A and B are shown apart, each in its own frame.
Chain A
């Protein structure tokens, strides 16, 4: 454990989820700024928390976003969107996990 609180971890992942959602919606809507919103998500994912907290999740998200951006740039929507969906799912389920309650 890095000593970073669950609240801070959750707050940071919520930020990332928001930018991922913006990028996903932009891609779906074929917005001319989709590549920009993808870049915003990638920039947010590139940030690190103190002590390397949440690096396991963030590392996977970074790899997925980098490839998503390449596929999207090349016009390959499906593999780009698959990676965006998985990145968003990893983030949101990690937030649920941090909430500390299981069924």
Chain B
């Protein structure tokens, strides 16, 4: 189980990481207010956990201004995720200027009531995890959920990273059903990154998120898609702010992005979606 000390920014920015972190900080364009588009608060079945205060201390130490936060694969989720969604909402109410709350659902079970409750409450978006909840992105209940989110003008962040095999084909079906869907492709579609860029790179309502994606994958991404279509994420507590900022910035610099483009990746691009 992860400890507070293990997750602290200090152990991530000292020793052999000190020079890495110094370089990383030097590459952040002046005036950039970093927006982390992928972080978790709560408890996971695998034992990892993150509190609102822990998240805030990491953000403060790393110079991150805002974070999209949503539940982990919580052992207390039951069928509707209402309890972990409440944990995220509580975190948002304690730190409304720093957290952007997304709720999580399990499409295998009736989700309409929790969807309505969370929309009425003011959640800013929805998180879906096809691996943890064991579904495909084009399963009928998931396509219906995409329709509901589009009708509510609610962005959906999908896990499209580790252990995912099918991303692009099912998402094409999703956009056939819900053309107005606003989609954040978590982990930049990883194994189907190039095909996803080809399929959705020109779709205004799609953005690719970078958390725990390797620098060489991100280098490819920055060369096959406009940087305006990319936003930074950490995936805390699975990722961390220093190493994910390093991979994003190192790849962006290697790909020749300008300061303005990098600033967009770190904050402006997702900021335009969420204010």
Q: Contact residues of A with B, CB < 8 Å?
A: 28, 60, 63-64, 66-67, 71, 75-79, 81-83, 85-86, 88-90, 92-93, 95-97, 102-103
Contact = CB atoms under 8 A, between A and B. Distances in A.
B20 interface: yes
B269 interface: no
For chain B, what secondary structure do more than half of its interface residues adopt (helix, strand, loop), or is it mixed? helix
B214 A89 contact: yes
Contact of A66 (B16, B215, B237): B16
Given A92-B215, A93-B215, A78 B251 contact: no
A78 B214 contact: no
Contacts of B250: 89-90, 93
Interface in B124-175: 162
A103 B16 contact: no
A96 B20 CA distance: 19
A93 B212 CA distance: 16
B16 A83 contact: yes
A89 B215 contact: yes
A78 B17 contact: no
B5 A76 contact: yes
A76 B6 contact: yes
Interface stretch (B79-87, B199-207, B240-248): B240-248
Contact of A96 (B3, B219, B243): B219
Contacts of A77: 2, 6
A71 B255 contact: no
B254 A82 contact: no
A36 to B, nearest CB: 21
B11 A71 contact: yes
A33 B242 CA distance: 27
B16 A82 contact: no
Given A66-B16, A78-B240, A79-B6, 18 more contacts: A60-B16, A63-B15, A77-B2, A78-B6, A78-B12, A79-B11, A81-B243, A82-B12, A82-B240, A83-B17, A83-B243, A85-B212, A86-B246, A88-B215, A89-B251, A92-B214, A93-B250, A96-B254
A92 B216 contact: yes
Contacts of A78: 2, 6-7, 11-12, 237, 240
A42 B246 CA distance: 21
A62 B262 CA distance: 29
Interface string B1-37: 0110111000110011101100000000000000000
